[in-house]
Amino acid sequence: MRKQAKKIGLAIVGAGRVGLIRGELAARHPAVEWIGIAEKNPERAKLVGDKIGAEFVTADYRELISRPEVNALIVSTDEHLHVDPILAACERGLPMLIEKPLATDLGESQMVMDALEHAGIDAVIGYTQRFRRRWLVAKEKVRNGSLGEVTMVTSRAFMNRLVAIDNYKRSDNPAEISPMVISGTHALDIVMWLMEAKKPVEVYARSVNKALGPTWQGIDGTAYTITFDDGAIYHGVISWALPEVWPGAVYSLEVGAVGTEGVLTIDDTHRDIVLATNLVQGEGYAPDKRRHVDFLTSYPVGDMALGELRGPMREETNSWLNRVALGSTTQHATAREGHNRLMLTKAIDLSARLKKPVSLPISPEDEKRGR
Q: Which residues pair with 11 in a beta bridge?
A: 36, 73
How do beta strands 96-99 and 123-126 pair? parallel
Looking at residue 367, its pLDDT comes to 87
Which helix (H) or strand (E) is 125 found in, with range?
A: strand 123-126
Alpha carbon dihedral 262, 266, 272, 275, in 10-degree steps, equals -170
Looking at residue 271, its pLDDT comes to 92
Separation of first and last alpha carbons in the chain: 56
Query: What CA–CA distance (Å, rounded) separates 197 from 155?
Result: 19
Mean pLDDT per 10-residue run, the chain (371 residues)? Answer: 84 96 96 98 96 97 98 94 96 96 93 96 96 96 96 96 88 82 93 94 97 91 98 97 86 95 96 86 61 85 86 96 96 97 96 96 89 64
Contact by Cβ (8 Å): 216, 164:
yes
Looking at residue 290, its pLDDT comes to 72
From 365, 328, 367, select the one nearest 345 (Cα to Cα). 367
From 186, 222, 237, select the one nearest 351 (Cα to Cα). 222
Strand ranges in 182-315 using DSSP code E only, listed in sequence order: 200-208, 221-228, 233-242, 252-259, 263-268, 274-276, 293-295, 303-305, 308-310
Looking at residue 166, its pLDDT comes to 87
Looking at residue 125, its pLDDT comes to 97
Q: Which residues pair with 32 in a beta bridge?
A: 8
Looking at residue 108, its pLDDT comes to 95
**Three-state SS for 97?**
strand
Rounded to two decimals, the pTM is 0.92
Looking at residue 46, its pLDDT comes to 96
Looking at residue 213, its pLDDT comes to 87
Looking at residue 283, its pLDDT comes to 55
Identify the structural domains of the chain with CATH numbers, from first to last.
Answer: 8-127+318-333 (3.40.50.720), 130-300 (3.30.360.10)
Question: Strand order of the sheet with strand 96-99?
Answer: 56-58, 32-38, 8-13, 72-75, 96-99, 123-126, 333-334
Looking at residue 278, its pLDDT comes to 85
